[in-house]
Structure 1
Amino acid sequence: MDRRTFFKSKTSCFTDLNNNTSNSSLQSGENVEELPTDCTAVGPGSSSQGREDNSGNVTNKRGTPVDLGTKDTGPSQPCLPEYPKTLFSKQNRSFSSEYYKTYKFIEYSKEGDAVFCFPCRLFQCSSSAAYRDPAFVINGVRDWKKILAKLQKHADGAPHRQCTEQWHCFEQTKATGSVATLLSESHKTTVQANREYAETIVDILLNLGKQGLSLRGHDEGETSENRGNFLELCNWYARHDRAFSARLNAPFNLTSPDTQNKFLEIAAHLVKDKIIHSIEENGFFAVLVDEARSFKEEQMAVCVRYTEKLEIKEPFLGFVDCSERVDAIGIYGYIKHFLGACGIYSLPTVGQSYDGAAVMSGHVNEVQQKLRQDHPCAVYIHCMAHKLNLVLVDACKVNRTANTFFHIIESLYAFFSQPGTHHAYQKHQKELGVKAELTALSNTRWACRWKNIAAVKSSMRALLSTLSEFAVLPFRRFVEASGLLSNLKKTAFCVCLVVFYHVLSMIHVAHKALQKKDTTLSQASSVMELTIKSLESMRTSDKWEELWMEIEAFCNSLDIQVNEDEREHTHKRPMKRTVALDSCVVTSSVGQREYQSNTTQSVKEKWAQRLYFPVLDTLLGECQSRFSTQTMEIARSVDAVLKCDPEGAQCLLNEYATALSINPKLAYTKMNLVKMNSQHTSSDFVKEALSTGFNPNFEKLFKLALTLPVGTATCERSFSAMRRVRNWMRSTMCQERLSSLSLLHIESDITAALNIEDIISAYHAKSKRRMLLH
């Protein structure tokens, strides 16, 4: 066999062996994409004792030595203290580890005592098929006399350079990954950076919405000094984060008004979904509705009442523009459509609460009656806070002295609301060590007038000092100041001030209790019963004696003489007295005088007959007439359920047992069991009993007692939030943005718990985005 045929057969044999090794590496999970497409990987095989031919090369019968390197380990370059020596002519020669420094591609086999080329052995390319010398690939070289020359010649060859380039590509691919892997990692990195930027944008939006602050500015151009809260906060954050700054200055940066609206709409939708989910778990709810004017629109606030884990919830759902039609049919249509869009109109509605307007409360064909046609068990409850206001309005306006007194209080606020007079008033307050601010009177919240009266009573000396200072020339409003000073020094004003301070203090406490979200109908009924009893206890001569002593002490402290102010009641003609009314207290001036002069009465008795007893009689009469309707009967039944009294719960069961699928007998049984465990049952004790022993019938009944509404105070609070969100500088805000911002602001606790990633995912899912977010 000639030399050419010998090397050809050897090359074919080891190529087959190396192909098998490559297949085994694929089976072990090695990534095929990491190998060059035009290369054939050659793996190490087993070896035996080699033999030296005429050229000094080492040949192996069963393949290359096993101690050579692999693709994962790299070239095998052992550094031995002494390498085996071979006799060349008359001199022993051996391999040297210094060759590694010059030729980094070589590897040494201790078994074969030979040198191999690592890249040519494992990364032999198909383009080097004309490679004729297999010495550095298969057989190895051990000609230590001419090794340097052979290494240099091999390194300068084109096939070796191609294999070396493939080796470097393989190492780079192993370090950074394949092209597909690089693209995938690049996509993940881009998405992660985009989502982090979007999370910051959404977080700024949510915080502004939660605080009820404006987002947009009047001029949001690049040259504007104030671009609005949202863009200014983004620019402030960009000064502290370079990555955020780079994306904020990009063409598409998620700060456009349309993008803001989409993010706000998604966030508000998530808040509403959480509320609706709680309503569905409860199984039924009560609806609360009220209306208010917002610039040129009539906005209707829709709130609901339900229980969550036996705790009362009264969340706000949204505003509805009802300007187009405000009659019963229109308002009912708006309510039905809004609740239907929320997906809860089909659920049982157990109660409805509005103010006392005829279009809402009428029992013939108005809103509450139309809702009962679809939900027969939706009992209408007139807002108890509104009822209390009506009681006070009737009590104070029926008496001329009381009416005059509140006009003076309002005139005081108007006078001292001017900067000059207010500054002087504060100066006198500081000298006296008093701090009380006069506020405007509310035409709808009469119970809040106690704060005005308390402020006037505590700062009376400062008011007199300030008015005395301004009641002389050259002050331009000295006539007004003189009139107010004269009225404040009258006995009538001092008597009204002390009387209404005590009367309205009790009303104020009751009003606060009726406005709480967690107040039950039974608690509201108890509050009103206690208020009525307190008013009855005040209508005694002994109580009037105590008040009169306080009035005299108050007047003496201000150097005001107590008299009956006869000049207010002098008439040109003598007043005609009716004998039939001598034993009565006249509460109306229609047909008779409010005050009949009697020279035998003392000043104290005249003021009692003129002011104190008429006001109390009117209050008691109005309370008994307005709070003795069907609402109070339901309230007593609610109280019975909360106290586990089966006999008193019959009213609720008769009304709701069929609609809510409550078995009365099973509910009675559970109530008796709970009552037997404790002689003094309370709502907290019943909640604990329900948590330990599940009873669906009594649990529904207990939830019903908590769900029945008390009033529309939550709607009133939403109007206060609406005026903060939609002020005179934001009057052009669209309805969707108003409702979304108001919901995020009012339900700020739910807004704070939102997952920002859910908002971004929902934003991305709506349509394709120019910014990669998924």
Structure 2
Amino acid sequence: MAAVIRARITEEVKSASFVAIQADETTDVSTQTQMVMVLRYIDGSHAVQERFFEFVPLSSSTADSIATAIMERLNSLFTEEERGKLIAQAYDGANVMRGEKAGVQQKVREHYKNAHYLHCYAHQLNLIMQQATSQVPAVRVFFSDLNGISSFFSRSPKRTTILDQVVARRLPRASATRWNFNSRVVNTVYENLDDLIECFEAISTDGSFDCTTVREASGYLRMLQDDDFKFFLHLFHQIMPHVDIMYQQLQKKDIDAVFIKRALQSFTSSVQAIRDQSSSPEQQQVAAGTTGKMRALGEQDKQRLSKEVCDTILGHANERFSFTSHLESATLLQGDLFEQYCHVFPDEALNTTAKAYPMLNKAKLKTELSLIYESPDFKGCSGALALYQVLQRNNLHETLSETVALLNILITTPMTTAEAERCFSTLKRIKTFLRNSMGQDRLNALAMLSMERELVRNMPDFNERVIDHFAALKERRAKFQYK
């Protein structure tokens, strides 16, 4: 069955105008390094597809080993003449993947010239928050203390029982690589601060707990009552919802460079507003609390730290989300700039686009874009996908062929490797501790059937194809095929 599904995916890839790949690595339950390969393209019904292709076992995580494994799969999909169809490769930001001289992306580009590299933007958002919380010592201490609360309760069923009785809510575990998990911790502690204080007081005064537990509970009690801790808790309770919104937007499959730019603008505007509020009298009063006690951090220190955290986030966001030259072509198709382009055509962006994608006819593309900029019907299109669907619905794909090709490239180019991360979740469900000796072929077959079940449902002749494939596997004494 998996062979039939893979054959169907191969057919769709062959008929697609452009294709992009996503790859990521993980370690399964048997400590085998598995690399997942996902193909992204626009199918015959003009829908964006991200198809699981294969889990590839790696003997080592070197650039040569990974590049060889990827090249073997690509060579089975594309002929020599079709190599120009591969227009993007998306990985994480590790040096072994992104290296410009000896990285995987460079080794692939030696054979596939148009396969531009992209660093997953969801991964970059996590790196932004890591930098923001590690560069400021006081913030690093705050998150270290905060993450210790959930660890305190998770180490003992007796402690968890008290938590359930008093707070009536479990504390989520934090993660160093998924900042939406840290956001849950911040929000949970902020919303249940009084109940947590009551919980730690109950543990401290309960004579049935051991000395170590009482000592740790007393320490966390003093921490939760500390004004400096409350200040950072309030600050990140303001910041984290915007991080969550940005993170959720980056998980979508149908996003493009225009969408990323708009989401980034909204995110930075929200963080900038929090920075500006940190110096307002109302914010100073909230951060100061209602007590008149002396604090380790003065009001000026709190304002300085608030601005420093926000400035770190804004600086890294603008740096990491700066688009490489081949993605500047998204500027050509940004609907809210069409009125401006009617008067001054973006020749620089056009030249960059033509250089990055030599398969486009520069002169014809400029003519088509000029017509689009002058037409009011296209100014409301938000993003490449919306404009692409408008052109398809109005049967303009032949008239504006070069614009459609550019849109196809932008839509096919993946902004994140979220689909590869989802494949790892399926891997953990299939290859468990009790099935850790599963063969690679069986693993790939079960993963294919699980992740591409929608494709199976949409194939009306799936059962017939499976039967024909089984009957044609080898010569048999009995004839299974009749004509």
Deviation at 1:391, TM superposition (A): 1.3
Q: Which residue matches 1:452? A: 185
2:390 pairs with 1:688: yes
Cα distance per residue 1:665-691 (max 9 Å; x no partner): 223333333443325241435422234
Please give the per-residue CA displacement for 1:343-402, whole angstroms capped at 9, x wherever unaligned. Answer: 578432111111111111110122111111112221111111121111111110122221
Which range moved further: 641-650 or 450-459? 641-650
| Other-structure match for 1:294 | 28
Tell me: CA distance 1:772–1:421, structure 2 relative to 1, closer, same or farther (3 Å): farther
Give the distance between the partners of 1:565 and 1:716, measured in 2 at CA: 44
1:341 matches 2:76: yes
Q: Is the 8 A contact 1:721 1:746 kept in 2?
A: yes
Q: 1:562 to 1:663 in 2, by over 3 A?
A: farther
Match of 1:164 in 2: none
* 2:414 is aligned with 1:703: no
The whole-number CA distance in structure 2 between the counterparts of 1:304 and 1:564 is 59
2:62 to 320, 324, 327: 327
Q: Which residue of 2 aligns with 1:14?
A: none
| Cα distance in 1, alignment partners of residues 327 and 193 from structure 2 | 42
Corresponding residue number in structure 1 for 2:157: 419
The 3-state SS of whatever aligns with 2:167 is: helix
The equivalent residue for 2:238 is: 502
Deviation, structure 1 residue 426 = 2.0
The answer as to whether partners of 1:316 and 1:718 remain within 8 angstroms in 2 is yes
* 2:417 corresponding residue in structure 1: 712
Q: Which deviations, in whole Å up to 9, do the C-alpha atoms of 1:195-241 show, x marking residues without a partner? A: xxxxxxxxxxxxxxxxxxxxxxxxxxxxxxxxxxxxxxxxxxxxxxx
Contact 2:278 2:303 in 1 (8 A): no
Q: Is residue 328 of structure 2 the alignment partner of residue 624 of structure 1?
A: no
Alignment of 1:374-385 (within 5 A): 374-385=111-122
Partners of 2:294 and 2:166 in 1: how far apart?
Answer: 30
Greater displacement, 496-505 / 684-693: 684-693
Name the CA distance, whole Å, in 1 between partners of 2:292 and 2:180. 28
Partner of 2:95: 358
Equivalent residue in structure 1 for 2:197, among 461, 464, 469:
464
Aligned to 1:393: 130
SS of 1:406's partner is helix
Among 131, 135, 144, the residue aligned to 1:407: 144
Which residue of structure 2 aligns with residue 667 of structure 1?
Answer: 365
Match for 2:135: what amino acid? V
Cα 1:495–1:698 shift into 2, 3 Å:
same
CA deviation string 1:109-140 (max 9, x = no partner): xxxxxxxxxxxxxxxxxxxxxxxxxxxxxxxx
CA displacement at 1:546 relative to structure 2: 4.0
Report the 3-state secondary structure (helix = DSSP H, G, I; strand = E; otherwise coil) of the residue aligned with 1:305. strand
Contact 2:19 2:41 in 1 (8 A): yes
Cα separation, partners in 2 of 1:330 and 1:562, compared to 1, 3 Å: farther
- Give the direction of change, closer, same or farther, for the CA distance of 1:486–1:753 in structure 2 (3 Å limit): same
Task: Quote the Cα distance in structure 1 between the aligned partners of 2:287 and 2:89.
Answer: 45
Q: 2:447 aligns with which of 721, 742, 753?
A: 742
Percent identical residues: 24
Using the size of structure 2 for normalisation, the TM-score is: 0.87
Which letter maps to 1:415? F
Q: 2: CA distance between counterparts of 1:724 and 1:382?
A: 27
CA shift in 2, pair 1:344/1:492, >3 Å: farther
Matching residue's letter, 1:640? L
Question: Which residue number in structure 2 is paired with residue 637 of structure 1?
Answer: 329
Structure 2 equivalent of residue 654 of structure 1: 355
Q: Which residues of structure 1 form unaligned runs of 5+?
A: 1-266, 431-435, 567-594, 596-602
Paired residue secondary structure (1:315)? strand
**Structure with greater helix percent:** 2
Q: Given residue 195 of structure 2, which amino acid in structure 1 is its aligned partner?
A: A
Counterparts of 1:523 and 1:353, CA distance in 2: 17
1:281 maps to what in 2?
A: 15
Q: How far off its partner does 1:420 sit?
A: 2.3
Number of residue pairs matched? 455
Structure 2 residue identity aligned to 1:641: L
**1:415 Cα deviation after fit:** 1.8
Specify the SS of the correspondent of 1:498.
helix
Q: How many angstroms does 1:428 deviate by?
A: 2.0
Q: Is the 8 A contact 1:285 1:304 kept in 2?
A: yes
2:176 corresponding residue in structure 1: 443
Question: AA paired with 1:651?
Answer: T
> Conserved in 1, the CA contact under 8 Å of 2:332 and 2:350?
yes
Matched, 1:268 2:5: no
Counterparts of residues 562-573 of structure 1 (less than 5 Å):
563=293, 565-566=295-296
Structure 1 residues 49-88: Cα deviation after superposition (integer angstroms, max 9, x where no partner): xxxxxxxxxxxxxxxxxxxxxxxxxxxxxxxxxxxxxxxx
- Aligned-pair CA distance for 1:275: 2.1
Displacement after TM superposition at 1:773 (Å): 5.1
Q: Tell which structure's C-alpha radius of gyration is larger.
A: 1
Map of 1:210-221 to 2, 5 A cutoff? none
Equivalences for 1:10-25 in 2 at 5 Å?
none
1:518-553 Cα offsets, whole Å, 9 max, x none, are 11122112222332232223222566544444445x
Q: In the superposition, relative to structure 1, how do residues 565 and 542 fare at CA in structure 2: closer, same or farther (>3 Å)?
A: closer
Q: Specify the code of the residue in structure 1 equivalent to 2:299.
A: K
Deviations 1:472-516 (A, max 9, x none): 323122112111111111112211111011112212211211221
Show the counterpart of 2:429.
724
Question: Does the CA contact (< 8 Å) of 1:521 and 1:710 recur in 2?
Answer: yes
Shifted more, 720-729 versus 642-651: the winner is 642-651
The aligned amino acid for 1:367 is V
Higher relative contact order (CA 8 A, sep 6+): 2
Looking at structure 1, the residues matched to 254 and 293 of structure 2 have their Cα atoms a distance apart, in angstroms, of: 48
> What RMSD in Å do the two structures reach over aligned CA positions?
2.5
Instruction: Say whether the 8 Å CA contact 1:350–1:377 is kept in structure 2.
Output: yes
544 and 377 in structure 1: CA distance in 2 versus 1, 3 angstrom threshold? farther
Deviation at 1:407, TM superposition (A): 1.5
Alpha-carbon distance between aligned partners in 2 of 1:292 and 1:562, rounded to the nearest angstrom? 52
SS at match of 2:37: strand
Q: CA deviation at 1:333?
A: 0.3
The verdict on how the C-alpha distance between 1:404 and 1:770 changes in structure 2, with shifts beyond 3 A counting, is farther
Cα deviations across residues 621-667 of structure 1 (Å, max 9, x unaligned)? Answer: 22233233x52x544422423647663444222211x3x3x322223
**Aligned-residue offset at 1:761:** 2.6
1:108 counterpart residue number: none
Q: What residue ranges of structure 2 are gaps of 5+ in the alignment?
A: none
Once the 2 structures are TM-superposed, how far is the Cα of residue 563 of structure 1 from its aligned partner?
Answer: 4.5
